[in-house]
Amino acid sequence: MIDIPGFHEQLRHPKDWEAARASKAERIVSLIEHHRGETRSDMALEIGSSTCAMTRVFRDHFRRVIAIDVDLWALRVCEPAFERVLASATALPFKSESFDVLVANHTLEYAPSVPKALAEMARVLGANGLVYLAAVNRLKFLPVPLLPRSLKGAFFDLFHAGESNIGHPLAYWEWRERLREFLSTDGTIDVLEYADPSVSSATTRIARSIPLPILQLMAPLFPSWIFYLHKAPRTG
């Protein structure tokens, strides 16, 4: 069994991080409902639940939620009533087409194989299901090696990430290539309709003032993205 240090244990302000996760989960639900519609009857899988701060919110909006993570310590911190499974995204221990909604919020960067994880997600996703996938931009971390040690901590605090937990992020075109087997929609700009409290209102106002075609051209430079994924129709 895998037992690695909890992600939030490495943060300087774990209570603030837990509160931010709950707020982010509410926004994720809003985005899913915006794209999918009513979710009360849906069976959901949360990939990379950590200490279940987001799971708690998801349980209020879906019929049933199963949370998985590779961090045994984090799963033990979750409330006992939560349905928790120690598992990797690359080997989901569920039957095919078991879920209506899959949530992978900045977790596939840590998967040992993104293609295997995506294949497993496609397998367990129902025919009319939806994957909410959030991914961080690899380009965001390019300046890190150039920063003096005294500034690196501030950089990772700014992006709510532990230095050893960057994972293996991809660039925009790399994600697009890996998502070719799905019917994918870039939902990053939808976030402007559901502003994250952790992002300043000034930032949101500036983004909203930029014409949509220009925002879409700027997509590869965004710090992170949201993709909605559906199963591609079977052929033959």
| Cα–Cα distance list, 129 to 21, 62, 71, 93, 159 (Å) | 24, 13, 27, 18, 31
Task: State the pLDDT at residue 43.
Answer: 98
Q: Looking at the domain that runs over 7-231, which CATH code has it been given?
A: 3.40.50.150
| Cα–Cα distance list, 63 to 38, 41, 47 (Å) | 11, 5, 17
Assigned token pair, 70:
């590779």
pLDDT digit string (tens) for the chain, length 236 residues: 333 444 444 444 456 667 778 888 999 999 999 999 999 999 999 999 988 999 999 999 999 999 999 999 889 989 888 999 999 999 999 999 999 999 999 999 888 899 999 999 999 999 999 999 999 887 665 555 555 666 555 545 555 444 445 567 888 899 999 999 899 999 888 877 665 555 555 666 677 778 878 878 888 878 788 999 999 877 65
Helix residue ranges per DSSP H, the chain: 14-36, 55-58, 72-77, 114-124, 149-158, 172-178, 201-208, 212-217
Q: What is the pTM of this model?
A: 0.82
Pairing of strands 224-231, 125-136: antiparallel
- Are 103 and 29 in contact, with CB atoms under 8 Å apart? no
Task: State the pLDDT at residue 88.
Answer: 95
- Are 108 and 178 in contact, with CB atoms under 8 Å apart? no
Q: Count of residues for the chain?
A: 236
DSSP-assigned letters across all residues of 110-125 = GSS-HHHHHHHHHHHE
Quote the DSSP letter at residue 133.
E
Task: State the pLDDT at residue 141.
Answer: 58
Burial class (CB in 10 A: 0-12, 13-18, 19+), 74: buried
Which residue has tokens 């598992």?
87
Per DSSP, what are the bridge partners of residue 134?
Answer: 105, 226
Residue 24 CA to its chain's centroid (Å): 10
For residue 28, how many C-alpha atoms fall within 13 Å in the half-sphere facing its CB?
32
Assigned token pair, 170:
């991809």
- Are 226 and 191 in contact, with CB atoms under 8 Å apart? yes
| Cα–Cα distance list, 211 to 137, 189, 203 (Å) | 22, 11, 15
Task: State the pLDDT at residue 90.
Answer: 96
Domain ranges of the chain: 7-231
